[in-house]
Homo-oligomer: A and B are copies of this chain.
Amino acid sequence: MTKKFPPGKQSNAHLSELAQRIEAPPISWLMDQKLKYPDLISLAAGFTDGPSLPVEEVQKIFKSITRTKKRSMEILQYGVGAGRDLLRDLTASNTAKLDEQDANNPAYHSDRILITHGSQQFLYLLSEALFEKNDIVILEAPTYFVYLGMLQSFGVQSRSIPMKSDGMDIEHLKATLESLKKSGRLSSVKLLYLVSYFQNPTGYSTSYAKKKAILKLVRSYEKHAGHPIYILEDAAYRELKFPATPEQPSMLSLPHARDRVIYSSTYSKPFATGIRVGYGFVPEPLRTILLRIKGNHDFGTANLLQAVVEEALRSGLYSGHVHQLQAEYAKKSEWMCQSIRKYFSSQVRWNHPSGGLYVWAQAPDHVSTGPDSRLFKACLKERVMYVPGSYTYGEDLTPNKPDQSMRISYGSASRSEIQKGIKRLGAALHAAE
């Protein structure tokens, strides 16, 4: 009873392969730094703006959804696995509207929607449904780093396609698909993943023309792959566009997209990140499979969370809030850009965002931005933090991951934190140049 096995050591060999592969996420290291230096200004976190959170809206919604005993009982009970009917209907019509499509377009049918515990859960369910170890996913370079960590845990390989200001480099994508075909690896390609609006981390959006070209190109390789190659359009930042930025349709609106394009998005970022409700449009047979997997995860997203978002959408409080938020982030972005112009040397290249939460900046070629770099250490000394760009590149680029970039977020920082943070970052950059 008191004997331990194995005596004196604890290995992980008895755990699953996934457990043995999974690594600590880079974000946890960044969070540790924040704990270590409480006076640190974090321009690293992907948190959203605190003061803009819909406090009054949520108070109204709580009142409204608990007005009658009957309604309260319904939302405090289990729901159905795929998500609330009305929430799926509202999600379908809102997405069709954003895409300027007829609500009867079958690509936007609410039966194709799965409501999830944040869009992160959607990405996870899809990964479970698609991937075996050594499968291949085609990625933007750079891309969403939590997705990279997920792929790593599944043992999935990446093929990185450089990101241009209007989306993936199509010629590079073509060359990559050709090379996969020649090496006989095309049959392992399961998915192309793109964050199509105000991408995390670059802030770039994929143009409609490019979406069309990507779909056409990928489909032309399916014959050689021997199976469908899905495209996952992650539109998590779509509703965080700035007021002056024109709306762009998603891939769902393209002809022949319905059976290959998977579209995911979220209500968490544009409404409240503490209310985790995301969703995806999924073709069959994937949707049925995702639904079954989700049944094993949790039987369906908490009915209360769904009811809050549903009421926000139904009442118009959601769209009112989103409009305010778009203006707010445009303003915060402008504060950051002004400070960058003031405090960064002209050797630092950076983009001017048109939506989303991030400025993507490139230090001069000889300046490394990685977590062990002189620059990062100088930043900690100055008490400011960014996300090192090297976190955002697929493992196929190892050991030559680009190492000069920084993701700088104006999401949760206040005006004065943005200004002070950029000043500190500018000082550290000058010191490192």
Interface residues of A in 46-74 (CB under 8 A from B): 47-48, 50-51, 53-55, 58-59, 62-63, 66, 69, 72-73
Asked whether B302 lies within 8 Å of A275 as measured between CB atoms, the reply is: yes
Q: Which of B120, B223, B227, B308 contacts A299 (CB 8 A)?
A: B120
Let me know if A332 is at the binding interface, CB within 8 A.
no
Provide 29 A-B residue pairs closer than 8 Å at the C-beta atoms, listed in order of the A residue: A1-B256, A3-B223, A14-B190, A15-B129, A15-B285, A15-B289, A16-B131, A16-B132, A19-B286, A23-B292, A24-B288, A25-B295, A55-B73, A58-B72, A59-B62, A62-B62, A75-B274, A117-B301, A118-B302, A124-B296, A146-B296, A153-B292, A153-B293, A153-B296, A274-B302, A274-B307, A276-B302, A302-B305, A304-B308
Contact between chains at B273 and A76 (CB < 8 Å):
yes
A70 CB → nearest B CB, Å? 9
A216-264 contacts to B, CB under 8 A, are 216, 219-220, 222-223, 225-228, 255-256, 259
Least Cβ–Cβ distance between A122 and chain B, in angstroms = 10
Is A433 an interface residue when CB atoms closer than 8 A count as contact? no
> If A15-B130, A223-B3 touch, does A62 touch B73 (CB 8 Å cutoff)?
no
Q: Which of A326-381 contact B (CB under 8 A)?
A: none
- Given A6-B227, A15-B130, A256-B2: A121 in contact with B276 (beta carbons within 8 A): no
Q: Is A272 an interface residue (CB 8 A)?
A: yes
> Once bound together, how far apart are the Cα atoms of A273 and B305, in whole Å?
12
Q: Closest CB of chain B to A154's CB: distance in Å? A: 9
Q: Is residue A298 contacting chain B, with contact meaning CB distance below 8 A?
A: yes
Q: In the complex, are the beta carbons of A66 and B59 less than 8 A apart?
A: yes
- CB <8 Å contact, A129 and B297: no
Partner of A304, one of B47, B190, B275: B275
**Residues from chain B with Cβ under 8 Å of A10 in the complex:** 285
Whole-angstrom CA separation of A412 from B18 in the bound complex:
38
Residues on the B chain within 8 Å of A272, using CB: 76-77, 304
How far is it, in angstroms, between the C-alpha of A200 and the C-alpha of B136 when the chains are bound? 41
By a CB distance below 8 angstroms, the chain B residues around A416 are none
A333 smallest CB distance to B (angstroms)? 20
